[in-house]
Amino acid sequence: MIARLILSAAFAACAPLELQAQISLFAVSGAAETPVDSVYSFGQVARGDTKDVLFRARNNGTSAVPVSKLAMSGIGFAIVNTAIIPFTVAPGSALDFTMRFTGGPVGPYSANLQVNTQIVLLLASVVEGPTVGVAAPCIGPDSQRLISFGRVQQGGQVTCTFTLQNPYTQALSVSPIAVSGAAFSTAQTLAATIPAGQAITFLVRFTAATMGTFNGTITAGPRTYNLSGTGFSGPLPTPIFVLDSATFLSGEQHTLTIRLPQASTVDANGALKMVFEPAGTVISDDAAVQFTAAGKRVIPFTVAQGATNVVLNTQAGAIFSTGTTAGKITFTLESAAYGIGGFASTSITIAAAPMIVSSSSATRRVNDLDISIWAFDNTYSAGRMSFTFNDAGGNPAAPAIAADFTAPFSTFFRGQTAGSAFLVRVTFPVTGNAQTIRSVDVMLTNSAGSVRLSRLNFP
């Protein structure tokens, strides 16, 4: 019995070591993985800056491995963006987690990272760093440390002035000063010493050899910033918008086509966008205003090199719905890679109009007369109605009855985003013989005017 217990304990002690051997730790940068042994250095980090490194615990074995311990001990380092521990790593899979170092006072830092039984010594050195700025036409750096050179026509160049400021009370050595990325260059030396409270400037050039977006970096001592610039092949000619009508009403569908006054010099693409602005303040949008085939307000466009016709969502023209709300619809052609010369937008106005009735009916229920109306009101001001009931000879059986339903309509319309269409049923109780009422004339009024329905007959 004693020998059996000793063998069992020895086997249990070996199992974690066997599983641990299946886990390999890497530092990940883009698609590259660098093995991490017992020591990993974050290098120099400027005081007040944060540096993140993605770590990957990969299971190289043939059985699942539970990661039951993922811990940090040390000042300045922290684990962020990881799964809930314990976490089981399947064979061939990995657990990713981010190690973050935040630079405090100047000096060396260290901490221990533990993954199960594996311990890695993390090192970092906090140093003073320069403040980096740029002058127009460059923009940045932003919160993501991106400096943009903007858009440059293919074959062109743009040069920006960079400033390294020493905000401290003693001289600051900055090394290296380096630019990477095939489209970016500088004549600056590899290092500089900046006197206390002063600054140095140097030029960085972006060359757009071809079309497309180019990326690079600039390193100034412990600080690194991303560089970006876009090359384009000259703007497309000013587009000509062609609509199938000169007037536009709510509840309609129309076709928009677009052509170029000269042939395109490139194969280009982009997006045609439509924006709707309601005329009133009752509602903020009408979802029915859209490109009907796509069911949305943005569709792609393409234009072939040598062509003047613009293909919209693979079609020669784009059909759109005017919705049921008065307002303005604006169409804009956008091509981020190439740009568009001149004014690339056109607008149409949907005027306020009396209510549009799609259908109506009159029915009888013993001593009740019901009138149902399907309509829309692009002014969102419906409410006033007038009803004249007629006898068998078509003569008014009583004076016209006026009704004002402004309050319930206002409540119904408030907050609508699907347009102004409505179905309303008005019921009139009849005292006496309801059979003597044979028809009704209805008038609907909104802020744009009144509309009289065709006479409705009661069955």
CATH number of the domain where residue 31 is located: 2.60.40.10
Tally of domains in the chain:
4
Last residue of a domain, one of 88, 107, 127: 127
Helix (H/G/I), strand (E/B), else coil: 416 = coil
What pLDDT band is residue 340 in, cutting at 50, 70 and 90? Answer: confident
**DSSP 8-state symbol, 412:** H
What pLDDT band is residue 148 in, cutting at 50, 70 and 90? Answer: very high
> Could you read off the pLDDT of 86-96 as tens digits, one per residue?
999 999 999 99
CA-CA distance, 297 to 255, in Å (whole number)? 14
43 φψ region: left (φ > 0), alpha (ψ -120 to 50), beta (else): left
pLDDT at position 4 over 50: no
293 and 179 in one domain?
A: no
Q: What is the average per-residue pLDDT within 237-249?
A: 95
Read off the tokens for 44: 């120099």
Domain with 384, as residue range(s), is 356-457
283 and 227 in one domain?
A: no
78 and 6 in one domain?
A: yes
Residue 337: the pLDDT is 67
pLDDT at position 16 over 90: no
Q: Which helix (H) or strand (E) holds 310?
A: strand 309-312
339 and 250 in one domain?
A: yes
341 and 388 in one domain?
A: no
CATH number at residue 408: 2.60.40.4070
408 and 322 in one domain?
A: no
Torsion on CA atoms 428, 433, 436, 441, rounded to nearest 10: -10
pLDDT at position 455 over 60: yes
What pLDDT band is residue 13 in, cutting at 50, 70 and 90? Answer: very low
Last residue of a domain, one of 166, 197, 232: 232
291 and 226 in one domain?
A: no
Last residue of a domain, one of 350, 366, 393: 350
Residue 210: the pLDDT is 83
298 and 189 in one domain?
A: no
414 and 365 in one domain?
A: yes
440 and 385 in one domain?
A: yes
163 and 97 in one domain?
A: no
Q: Which helix (H) or strand (E) holds 269?
A: strand 268-278
Distance between alpha carbon 153 and the CA centroid of its chain, in Å?
27
pLDDT at position 391 over 90: yes
98 and 167 in one domain?
A: no
What pLDDT band is residue 9 in, cutting at 50, 70 and 90? Answer: very low
Helix, strand, coil % over all residues of the chain, rounded to 5: 5, 55, 40
pLDDT at position 6 over 60: no
